[in-house]
Amino acid sequence: MNQSAKSEILTTDGIPLKISLKRAERLNKIRAFALVLPLALFIIITFAFPILSMLLRSVDDKQINTVFPKTFEVYKQWDRKDLPPEELYASMFHEILSAEKLQIGKASTRMNYSKSGWKSLLKKSKRKFKKIKEGPYKEQMIKADKRWGQIEFWKALGEMVDPITFGYYLNAVDLKYDSDKNVIQQPENRRVYNSTWIKTLKVSVLVTLFTLLLGYPVAYLLATLPLKLSNLLMIFVLLPFWTSLLVRTVSWIVILMQKGIFNSILVWGGVIADENRMQLIYNQTGTLIAMTQILLPFMVLPLYSVMKTIPPTYMRAALNLGAKPMHAFYRVYFPQSVPGISAGGLLVFVLAIGYFITPALVGGKDGQLIGHWIAYHLKTSLNWGLCSALGGILLVVMLVLYWVYNKVVGIENIKLG
């Protein structure tokens, strides 16, 4: 023990080297941390918090419990077979009258999600109930608006009893709660989300595949052609990339319309008859074509930067050793370009799955993706709960795919250059 203490190396200040080094390192660590801190804070404030808040919003159902607390207490005792007892009517009556106008407005928005009509019912009732002086209330309420006598409206309250709900998530996959909180399917003509989810995944996968098929040869040319030619080619790749997204989308409309350039050329060339012009836009085909073109650079660029690092000598060596060109390409070149395929594929897929503007303009009858519904509920219906649930599912889908991807391809295989 003594021996080791003595053999300790001291700095010129007489402090043991170990401690001195630690001190210097600590300072470095603090400095490094301080450098990262702004970015870390930025990410926490603009990324982690919003996502957390979004996820909380997707299960939060306190909005109406706080407006009608007593009513919901009484509600729990109701058997939900016949119209509710007078007691429930009475407490609803008093709480509508005593609640502030704004609270009624907010509560009615929420209640309208579970049954269309609550919005106007509450608003009208708030006005009309002032004339009702004393109980019993049941009949007077039904007289004020006959919907108070319809059991469906009362039953619809059942799914809002708890302050936390999974109703929005159910809604996002075409399910819902019935009045006893059993999970049931949405009525058939309201089932739109599942088909949109499937369509979104399908379009994203196809766009990724198409961009790969189209982008791979281009990237190969870019990486192998002499500099002068490849620079020119690069400009062709980048030029549309720099053009506004909207302009490119609208150009596709002009090209693909039935009376548009593409169809007209085919008719002129006698390939199709004038009355058989193809419907290539305002449907899913249009979405696919436009998105493939718009996302192409996101595939070409990572591919190119990876291919650029593959020494051409490898291929020459393989050919020299007697491999046929296809074989040499498949065994030597292709494996080395896989990191670029992974990077491009992931990039294109992630962008495609949340695409909004292009499908909105060219999607027409069946080319809308899930982004359409997220925007709809954010801006038009103001159903931010459902909006958050859709976003939450999108996030989970992405994470699951990323996990699968990591298992299959391996995330360390991604390279951007």
In what helix (H) or strand (E) does residue 183 lie, and over which residues does it extend? strand 183-185
In what helix (H) or strand (E) does residue 51 lie, and over which residues does it extend? helix 49-57
Buried b (16+ CB within 10 A) or exposed e, 363-378: bbeebbbbbbbbeebb
Q: Is 264 in the site for other proteins (CB under 8 A)?
A: no
Q: Which of 123, 128, 248, 415 binds other proteins (CB under 8 A)?
A: 123
CA distance 194 to 165: 20
- Supply the minimum distance, in Å, between the C-beta of residue 102 and other proteins: 4
Cβ-contact 284, 197 below 8 angstroms: no
- Supply the minimum distance, in Å, between the C-beta of residue 55 and other proteins: 10
Q: Is 374 in the site for other proteins (CB under 8 A)?
A: no
Q: Is 43 in the site for other proteins (CB under 8 A)?
A: no
Q: Is 162 in the site for other proteins (CB under 8 A)?
A: no
Q: Tell me the window of 9-17, 219-227, 254-262, 399-407 that interacts with other proteins (CB under 8 A).
A: 254-262
Q: Is 106 in the site for other proteins (CB under 8 A)?
A: yes
CA distance 40 to 61: 31
Work out the angle at residue 174's Cα, subtended by the Cα atoms of residues 169 and 179, and round it to the nearest 5 degrees.
75
Q: How many residues bind other proteins (CB under 8 A)?
A: 48
Q: Is 46 in the site for other proteins (CB under 8 A)?
A: yes
Q: Is 365 in the site for other proteins (CB under 8 A)?
A: yes
| Token output for 69 | 């607390």
Q: Write the binding mask 277 to 316 for other proteins: x where contact by CB under 8 A, - elsewhere.
A: -----x----------------------------------
Q: Which of 380, 407, 408, 412 binds other proteins (CB under 8 A)?
A: 380
When the beta carbons of 103 and 336 are compared against other proteins, the nearer one is 103
Interactions with other proteins, residue window 335-364 (CB under 8 A): 360-361, 363-364
Q: Count the alpha carbons within 13 Å of 194 in the hemisphere toward its beta carbon.
A: 11
When the beta carbons of 165 and 342 are compared against other proteins, the nearer one is 165
Secondary structure string (H, E, C) spanning 12-47: CCCCEHHHHHHHHHHHHHHHHHHHHHHHHHHHHHHH
User: Nearest Cα to 344, choosing from 212, 172, 179?
Assistant: 212
Q: Is 45 in the site for other proteins (CB under 8 A)?
A: yes
- Supply the minimum distance, in Å, between the C-beta of residue 170 and other proteins: 14
Cis peptide, bond prior to residue 136, ω within 30 of zero: yes
- Supply the minimum distance, in Å, between the C-beta of residue 187 and other proteins: 9
Q: Which of 105, 163, 240, 354 binds other proteins (CB under 8 A)?
A: 105
Q: Tell me the window of 81-89, 190-198, 204-212, 334-342 that interacts with other proteins (CB under 8 A).
A: 190-198
| Token output for 248 | 């490119």
Q: Write the binding mask 197 to 236 for other proteins: x where contact by CB under 8 A, - elsewhere.
A: ----------------------------------------
| Token output for 415 | 């390279």
When the beta carbons of 52 and 239 are compared against other proteins, the nearer one is 52
Beta strands in 251-345 (DSSP E): none
| Token output for 358 | 């292009």
Q: Tell me the window of 66-74, 189-197, 207-215, 346-354 that interacts with other proteins (CB under 8 A).
A: 189-197
When the beta carbons of 340 and 371 are compared against other proteins, the nearer one is 371
Neighbours of 138 (CB within 10 A): 20
Cα–Cα distances (Å) from 143 to 8, 125, 136, 139, 173, in that order, read: 95, 11, 12, 6, 38
Q: Is 303 exposed, middle or buried (0-12, 13-18, 19+ CB in 10 A)?
A: buried
Q: Tell me the window of 98-106, 233-241, 306-314, 402-410 that interacts with other proteins (CB under 8 A).
A: 98-106
> Which residues of the shown chain bind other proteins in the complex (CB under 8 A)?
45-46, 49-50, 52-54, 56, 101-102, 104-106, 108-109, 112-113, 116-120, 123, 189-192, 195, 253, 257-260, 282, 360-361, 363-366, 368, 376, 378-383
